[in-house]
Amino acid sequence: MTKHGKVGRGYPPVNRRFGSGQKRAAGRPKGALGEKAIVQKIAGEIHKVERNGETVEVTTLELLLLTMRNLAMKGNLKAARWLTEYRERILPSDAKGGFLVVPETKPVDQFIREQEFLNRFRTNPELKEDMAFASARTTGD
């Protein structure tokens, strides 16, 4: 056996491992970032944006999603398609779940006023079962 260990197929002799003028590839230098790490770093950067008169801090990813949503709402089909594909990647179509759409928060007194207004036009469910009320509605009295 040679002093370097294995020899044979896949292990050429030391003097023939590299052709003339060739040397081992250095590879990625120590401390260098890969593509995935660079993208994560950029996506996590914080930006100050003015929204509804307030300065808000958002990440680059949130800023991208907000921009694409705004473009889609204005009718940009490419932005709408991109958002749809992004949602499918994040939440596959076979997932059993959905999205919860929550209205913006309102002061309690404003909510009460709106509900009182809507109640004016609603029928009392207790009166639907009342036979006198039902017969009055059918006879036209």
Tell me the pLDDT band of 81, cut-offs 50, 70 and 90.
Answer: very high
What pLDDT does 133 receive? 53
- The one-letter code for the residue type at 10 is G
In the chain, % helix, strand, coil (3-state, to 5) comes to 45, 10, 45
SS3 state of residue 28: coil
pLDDT of 17 higher than 80: no
CA distance linking residue 70 with residue 76, whole number of Å: 9
Helix axes 60-73, 35-43, angle to 10 degrees: 70
Weakest mean pLDDT among 20-29, 34-43, 51-60, 116-125: 20-29
CA distance linking residue 80 with residue 76, whole number of Å: 6
Q: Please state, for a pLDDT cut of 90, what percent of the chain lies above it.
A: 21
Average pLDDT for residues 100-125, to the nearest whole number?
81
Average pLDDT for residues 61-85, to the nearest whole number?
92
Average pLDDT for residues 74-100, to the nearest whole number?
82
